[in-house]
Structure 1
Amino acid sequence: MILEASLYILFGLIALVWSADRFISGAASIALNSGMSKLTIGLTIVAFGTSAPEIIVSMFAALDGSGGIAVGNALGSNITNVGLVLGTTALIAAIPVSRKVLIGELPVLFAVSLLAGFVLYDRQVDWYDSILLFAGLGWFLFYLYRKQVNASPEEDTDEDEVDALTGLSTSKAWMNFVIGLIVLLISAKFLVDGAVTIARVFEVPELIIGLTIVALGTSLPELAASVASALRGHHEIAFGNVIGSNIFNLLVVMAVPGLISPQPLDPSVFVRDYATMLGLTFLLAALMAFDYRRGKPFGKVAGSILLAAYVAYNVVLYIQL
């Protein structure tokens, strides 16, 4: 049983990363061919695409009655995105801090994070909470629409960046999009089934599995997208991808279990896991502001601090088992 569950998780993770890459490249190409700006692509198409594993995994977890995995996946993925994904990306390639991200998208993430805290405070995500989160999603999409309408034409003049990002024809983009989505559904089901089995065999709380193994697995597309974006010089997408993905995780992924199978949550979800996520978001903002004021890129020092915080959090999780 353990071997079978481990193989389920391994297959799920590998297929998840492969399919997410196809899904994202297809969706981003379609968006670019339609004239969408690079920053908006990072905040919506790429972010939603890299959040697709979290969304689908949480959907299957909620259907299986594993609310801990569903909510843990949302919070754990955000912690992983900031600590591991941005930390690793900054170690590989220093990222210049954009003022419009610092004063534009980051405050939006704070607002959404506070909304998530309001939802989690009573230790349950129910139908009404989900509606509230989806209302927040509607506001966020309207905000992005207004940004797109008011975007300066200079934002999309670099043809090399556009070619490096995608380079797919519309027909091939749609093929990647559809195939990626189908494999995403299958791999997410394998990952959830394997994770639930491991949790039950070793008597590890499903919440911990969701916060760690599942969150790490579903955040691998964010890691790949952010590192690739930074190496290619798409600095806005590197930050925008993580910030946008975290916003989608809170507004969509966390809303899924409330719509499908509302369940009481462990008290530690708010006092430990949500608090850690919010603290890491504040830490990220402080590091970005510090580097921006010095005129320095977001580099190895900032990346090391975020990685250390991520490792410390995971150590605390397993010490408390």
Structure 2
Amino acid sequence: MSLGGPAFSPAVHLLLVAVATGFIWLGSGWLEESAEHLSAYYGLPAVVQGSIVVAIGSSFPELASVVVTALSGTFSMGIGAIVGSAIFNILVIPALSGLFSDGHLQTNRTVVYKEAQFYMLAVAVLVITFALAVIYTPDPGGSPLTGRLTRPLATLPLLLYALYLFIQWQDVSDYDALDAPAGIAVRREWLRLGGGLLVILVAVEQLVGSVDSLGQTFGVPEFLAGVTVVAAATSLPDLLVSVRSAASGNDVTSLSNVFGSNTFDLLVAIPVGVLIAGTMPVDFAAATPMFGVLTLATVLLFTLLRTDLVITDLESSLLLVSYAVFLAWIVAETVGATQFLRGV
């Protein structure tokens, strides 16, 4: 149970949000370092290391947010956190990675034509899954564009992620691994990975509880609170991993972590929440505009990556400006200046 009930003041909850975010950063640091060492020990290629091992590790806060919100009855906040985190990852992380890299942020055709395009497929499959929920399991007490996301429907994204893992496994089987570096204590790294997961889970539970209380105090819908505050806090590990990788010259790992994290979030995190809760409401009127923004952001990043296979400082600035525009729109939706999110 999270600390700080409804009787606590907004200032206390803001402090708890900051403290929880700090612990998410701490736990993610343990998790990412252990994942990196284990990847080196088992001889995984850079693309697989970034898109699977590091991506899943840095995406655990998003997964934890979905699990916590599913169990607490605020699943719309969890979905908002996933979508908001995906937009943050696509626009902010490559931009800051490009600015902190040694020169331009380099990419390659594997990232552009495999990781990026498979991620686009993941977005499309999740939208189709939501549409099937509205068509075949409509919510009798809701609007015509609401449905119930059931466990059978949740298996569709999971099956696609299984295909993604199979493709990555094929890459690993064709890869000539380097000799494992000396001095890696495998058992200690696995223990540190488990400790990082536990710290993240507890911190995310506190974060969700405080954000939910703040949202009720200031009249912010759960979905929008998830898109902004929870999404930014849970995306902090992805940001740190990618920026650190770019600063050390590992541009491929930096970018593949972005696409791998988003693919995991969309195809695994949301379905896991449904599998835990059994069934979850889906409001297509709110989900579709957000997925539209996510698609536009993905197309923008894909276009920038494909031009000479680099991201320049100017293109990084363009990505940051695009995210600022997105935040301005969310604020406009919150105060009622715009009403594109009909289901919120």
Gaps of 5+ in 2: 1-7, 135-145, 335-344
Equivalent-residue separation in structure 2 for 1:291 and 1:142 (angstroms)? 29
- Candidates 73, 81, 84, aligned match of 2:81: 73
After TM superposition, the runs of 4+ consecutive aligned structure 1 residues lying more than 6 A away are none
- Does residue 312 of the first structure (1) align with residue 320 of the second (2)? no
CA displacement 1:234-280 (0-9 Å, x = unmatched): 11101110010010010111213322333333444333211111111
Equivalent-residue separation in structure 2 for 1:187 and 1:167 (angstroms)? 31
Residues 112 and 250 in structure 1, CA contact (< 8 A), matched pair in contact too? yes
Kindly state the Cα deviation for residue 140 of structure 1 after the two structures are TM-superposed: 0.9
Equivalent-residue separation in structure 2 for 1:137 and 1:52 (angstroms)? 16
Equivalent-residue separation in structure 2 for 1:139 and 1:79 (angstroms)? 24
Q: Secondary structure of 2:107's match?
A: coil
- Paired amino acid for 2:38: I
Greater shift in the superposed pair: 98-107 or 11-20: 98-107
Greater shift in the superposed pair: 70-79 or 5-14: 5-14
User: In structure 2, what is the equivalent of residue 195 of structure 1?
Assistant: 211
CA displacement 1:102-145 (0-9 Å, x = unmatched): 12211111111110111223355332221111111111111110
Equivalent-residue separation in structure 2 for 1:270 and 1:181 (angstroms)? 29
Kindly state the Cα deviation for residue 72 of structure 1 after the two structures are TM-superposed: 0.6
User: In structure 2, what is the equivalent of residue 283 of structure 1?
Assistant: 300
Q: Secondary structure of 1:233's match?
A: coil
- Candidates 171, 174, 192, aligned match of 1:147: 171
CA displacement 1:69-92 (0-9 Å, x = unmatched): 111111111000011111111122
Equivalent-residue separation in structure 1 for 2:308 and 2:288 (angstroms)? 30
- Whose helix proportion is higher, 1 or 2? 1
Equivalent-residue separation in structure 1 for 2:276 and 2:188 (angstroms)? 34
- Paired amino acid for 1:185: L
- Paired amino acid for 1:279: L
Equivalent-residue separation in structure 1 for 2:158 and 2:39 (angstroms)? 23
User: In structure 1, what is the equivalent of residue 222 of structure 2?
Assistant: 206
Q: Secondary structure of 1:265's match?
A: strand
- Candidates 77, 92, 117, aligned match of 1:107: 117
Aligned length: 309
Q: Secondary structure of 1:281's match?
A: helix
Equivalent-residue separation in structure 2 for 1:266 and 1:314 (angstroms)? 21
Aligned-pair identity (%) = 24
Q: Which has the higher contact order (CA 8 A, sep 6+)?
A: 1
Gaps of 5+ in 1: none
- Candidates 31, 44, 47, aligned match of 2:39: 31
Q: TM-score, normalised by structure 2?
A: 0.85
Equivalent-residue separation in structure 1 for 2:221 and 2:183 (angstroms)? 44
Equivalent-residue separation in structure 1 for 2:84 and 2:275 (angstroms)? 20
- Paired amino acid for 2:252: E
Residues 41 and 184 in structure 2, CA contact (< 8 A), matched pair in contact too? no
- Does residue 173 of the first structure (1) align with residue 173 of the second (2)? no
Residues 39 and 240 in structure 1, CA contact (< 8 A), matched pair in contact too? yes
- Whose strand proportion is higher, 1 or 2? 2
User: In structure 2, what is the equivalent of residue 253 of structure 1?
Assistant: 269
User: In structure 2, what is the equivalent of residue 303 of structure 1?
Assistant: 316
Kindly state the Cα deviation for residue 174 of structure 1 after the two structures are TM-superposed: 2.1
Residues 51 and 260 in structure 2, CA contact (< 8 A), matched pair in contact too? yes
Equivalent-residue separation in structure 2 for 1:21 and 1:264 (angstroms)? 34
Residues 130 and 284 in structure 2, CA contact (< 8 A), matched pair in contact too? no
Please, what is the CA RMSD of the aligned residues?
1.9
- Paired amino acid for 2:155: I
Kindly state the Cα deviation for residue 168 of structure 1 after the two structures are TM-superposed: 4.5
User: In structure 1, what is the equivalent of residue 202 of structure 2?
Assistant: 186
- Does residue 274 of the first structure (1) align with residue 291 of the second (2)? yes
- Paired amino acid for 2:302: A
- Does residue 59 of the first structure (1) align with residue 59 of the second (2)? no
Residues 50 and 245 in structure 1, CA contact (< 8 A), matched pair in contact too? yes
Kindly state the Cα deviation for residue 167 of structure 1 after the two structures are TM-superposed: 7.4
Query: Cα gap change, 1:96/1:270 in structure 2, threshold over 3 Å: closer, same or farther?
Result: same
Greater shift in the superposed pair: 266-275 or 29-38: 266-275
